[in-house]
């Protein structure tokens, strides 16, 4: 646990909130810049449109003044109207000087104003002059200034219209580009969040599912940042350690219960060789003087044979009961299975049940824990013994070709079977169908945890009045035995 905590501390400390801020900060910055740009363009367009409106009004006033100018030159009328319109045009320029200078240079505005002032001055002069030659000169100046006012204003208006169109096109391009880049950035941030958050949640969920199946492999702290998930991973590892300790306690306690069930059969089995030893030893003691050496040796051999038989029975029980850490070693499955069958043989005999086994001798090798495997085999066989009536049958078969990568061990009985609603709950802790006081409901749950820890699976099929079949799937190994 301390190693895990030190490992977490070595990572860069960056919370999920900080990573989200880092992820969204570019979008926010980008949005501010682009929107500021668009606002600036719209601000310019506002001034340009106002300039065009003023220019259009100015040109209308100039055109009206020129029309009245022609009337005066032709018919001698409407001079005051011409003066009024040129005065309005000049006032338009002067009143909007500040806004116009944001578009036009000051000297260009002054040029327009100078032409308007000169045009107005010549209109006044032509109305006061009676000399025909002077009038011709003034008329020429009027036409010159009037033409320039129209031409200059039209040129400026045309250029600004083109500028307005360009700005509108630019605004559209910026908006479209912004939307495209925004979508790309959002997808990128989604991928970032998916990788940084959802993947971590998925990984933690996967570990919890493994824990539910009895696999107590600790979480590898894979996050590159020390975030809110890191303490959670440390807490889950701590929980895994505690669960593993309690699981070991459950395994051992269930083993003790299985030993208790086996003791009755072992005691019955030991009774025969012990009786034979006692009878032979008593006979040897009584008739020692009259027996020849051959008979004495035969009786001693009988005592030794029965003693070895008893020793073997006790050794098998002690091997099964011995407490040890999980040790995965290369082993032959048929030896473990036959040894487990021998352990329950006496219990089977007492219950008057038949047990048959079909175990091939050429099974592929496996790497597993022989004690844990034996505990699972014994537990399931004892469950079958408890479920079967007298003269019931247990049949054990092994198939190494049914499932790729696994050896399948079927432990089948012809007992009463289980209905569907019971079958769905057989692996739940503390669920049992046995009478009160005869079962804890932990046997199958512990067995599934052991098989899962050893890399295998356990399945069950059952039909009412037809029996039950437990299938244990033990992984094969590609590592050859030495």
Query: Model pTM?
Result: 0.46
| 146 confidence band (pLDDT: 50, 70, 90) | confident
Per the rule left: phi > 0, alpha: psi between -120 and 50, beta: everything else, 391 is left
Task: Determine the straight-line distance between the first and last CA of the chain, rounded to whole angstroms.
Answer: 36
Q: What are phi and psi of 67, to 5 degrees?
A: -65, -45
- CA distances for 5 relative to 9, 55, 219, 236, 240, angstroms: 6, 75, 12, 12, 15
Q: In this predicted structure, what is the pLDDT of residue 1?
A: 46
> Which two three-digit tokens encode residue 163?
């500028």
Three-class DSSP category at 129: coil
Q: Give the percent of the chain with pLDDT over 70.
A: 79
Q: How far apart are CA 352 and CA 260, in angstroms?
A: 19
Q: What pLDDT was estimated at residue 453? A: 79
Question: pLDDT tens digits for 156-179?
Answer: 888 888 888 988 898 889 889 889
Burial string for 236-266 (b: 16+ CB within 10 Å, else e) reads: bbeebeeebeebeebbeebbebbbeebeebb
Stretch 181-192: mean pLDDT, rounded?
A: 83
Among 85-89, 102-106, 360-364, 471-475, name the one with the lowest average pLDDT.
102-106
Q: What is the pLDDT of residues 2-24, one digit of tens each?
A: 444 444 444 445 566 777 777 78
Return the higher-pLDDT residue of 69 and 311.
69
Please state, in angstroms and rounded to a whole number, the distance separating the CA atoms of residues 420 and 445. 18
Question: pLDDT (tens digit, 9 = 90+) per residue, 334-383?
Answer: 888 988 888 788 778 888 888 999 888 888 888 888 888 888 888 888 88
Closest Cα to residue 100, out of 55, 140, 158, 165?
55
| 296-311: average pLDDT | 76
Residue 395: the pLDDT is 93
Residue-wise pLDDT tens digits, 432-450: 666 554 554 456 777 787 8
Structure tokens belonging to residue 430 = 């503390």
> What residue ranges define each of the domains in the chain, with the CATH number in brackets?
2-205 (1.20.120.1730), 242-475 (3.30.565.10)
Whole-angstrom distance, CA of residue 462 vs CA of residue 414 = 10
Residue 226's DSSP bridge partners are 13
- For residue 410, the model assigns a pLDDT of 93
pLDDT, tens digit (0-9, with 9 covering 90-100), for 247-282: 666 666 655 665 665 565 566 556 667 777 787 788
Q: Using an 8 Å Cβ cutoff, are 28 and 189 in contact?
A: no
Give the mean model confidence (pLDDT) for residues 319-336: 71
- Residue of higher predicted confidence among 87 and 218: 87
Do the Cβ atoms of 215 and 340 come closer than 8 Å?
no
- Residue 253 φ/ψ region, left for φ over 0, alpha for ψ in the -120 to 50 degree band, beta for the rest: alpha
Question: What would the two tokens of residue 65 be?
Answer: 């003044």
Helix H, strand E, coil C: the string for 58-98 is HHHHHHHHHHHHHHHHHHCCCHHHHHHHHHHHHHHHHHCHH
Query: Is it the case that residue 61 has pLDDT exceeding 70?
Result: yes
């Amino acid at each position: 646990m301390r190693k895990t905590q030190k490992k977490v501390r070595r990572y860069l400390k960056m919370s999920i909130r900080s990573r989200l801020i880092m992820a969204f900060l570019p979008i926010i910055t980008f949005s501010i810049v682009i929107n500021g740009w668009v606002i600036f363009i719209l601000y310019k367009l506002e001034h340009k449109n106002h300039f065009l409106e003023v220019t259009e009004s100015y040109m209308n006033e100039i055109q009206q003044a020129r029309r009245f100018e022609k009337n005066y030159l032709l018919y001698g009328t409407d001079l005051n109207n011409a003066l009024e319109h040129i005065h309005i045009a000049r006032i338009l320029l002067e009143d909007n000087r500040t806004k116009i200078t944001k578009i036009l240079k000051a000297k260009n505005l002054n040029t327009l104003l100078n032409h308007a002032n000169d045009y107005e001055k010549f209109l006044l002069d032509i109305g006061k002059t009676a000399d025909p030659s002077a009038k011709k000169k003034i008329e020429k100046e009027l036409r010159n200034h009037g033409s320039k006012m129209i031409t200059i204003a039209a040129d400026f208006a045309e250029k600004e219209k083109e500028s307005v169109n360009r700005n509108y096109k630019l605004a559209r391009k910026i908006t479209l580009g912004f939307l495209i880049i925004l979508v790309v950035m959002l997808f990128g941030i989604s991928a970032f969040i998916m990788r940084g958050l959802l993947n971590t949640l998925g990984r933690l969920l996967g570990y919890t599912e493994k824990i539910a199946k009895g696999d107590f492999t600790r979480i590898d702290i894979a996050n590159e940042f020390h975030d809110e998930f890191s303490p959670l991973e440390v807490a889950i590892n701590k929980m895994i350690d505690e669960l593993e300790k309690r699981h070991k306690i459950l395994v051992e306690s269930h083993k003790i219960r299985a030993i208790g069930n086996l003791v009755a059969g072992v005691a019955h089995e030991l009774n025969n060789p012990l009786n034979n030893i006692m009878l032979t030893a008593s006979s040897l003691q009584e008739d020692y003087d009259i027996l020849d050496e051959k008979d004495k040796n035969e009786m001693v051999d009988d005592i030794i044979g029965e003693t070895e038989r008893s020793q073997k029975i006790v050794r098998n029980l002690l091997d099964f009961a011995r407490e040890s850490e999980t040790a995965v070693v290369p082993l032959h499955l048929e030896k473990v299975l036959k040894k487990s069958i021998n352990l329950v043989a006496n219990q089977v005999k007492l219950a008057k049940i038949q047990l048959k086994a079909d175990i091939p001798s050429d099974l592929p090798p496996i790497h597993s824990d022989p004690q844990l495997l034996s505990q699972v085999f014994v537990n399931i066989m004892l469950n079958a013994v408890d479920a079967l009536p007298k003269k019931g049958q247990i049949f054990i078969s092994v198939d190494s070709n049914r499932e790729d990568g696994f050896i399948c061990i079927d432990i089948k009985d012809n007992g009463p079977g289980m209905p569907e609603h019971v079958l769905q709950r057989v692996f739940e802790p503390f669920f049992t169908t046995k009478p009160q006081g005869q079962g804890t409901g932990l046997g199958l749950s512990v067995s599934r945890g052991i098989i899962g820890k050893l890399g295998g699976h356990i399945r069950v099929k059952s039909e009412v009045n037809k029996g039950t079949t437990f299938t244990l799937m033990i992984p094969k190994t590609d590592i050859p035995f030495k």
